[in-house]
Amino acid sequence: MYTSEDQHLLFYQKLGELFYAVAASDKVVRKSEYESLKKIIKKEWTTVDSYKDVFKTDAVYQMEIVFEWFDYEELDADQCFNDFADYYKEHRSLFTKDRQQLIWKTANQIANAFSGKNKSEVIMLTRLKLLMQS
37-46, 87-96, 115-124: least confidently modelled range: 115-124
Total tally of structural domains belonging to the chain: 1
- Give Cα separations from 12 to 26, 80, 117 (angstroms): 23, 14, 24
The Cβ-side half-sphere exposure at 29, using a 13 Å CA radius, reads 22
With residue 95 as reference, give the H or E element that holds it: none
Q: CA–CA separation, 36 vs 115, rounded Å?
A: 13
The amino acid at 25 = S
Which range of residues forms the domain containing residue 88?
4-133
Q: pLDDT tens across 45-89, in order?
A: 998 887 777 777 888 999 999 999 999 999 999 999 999 999 999
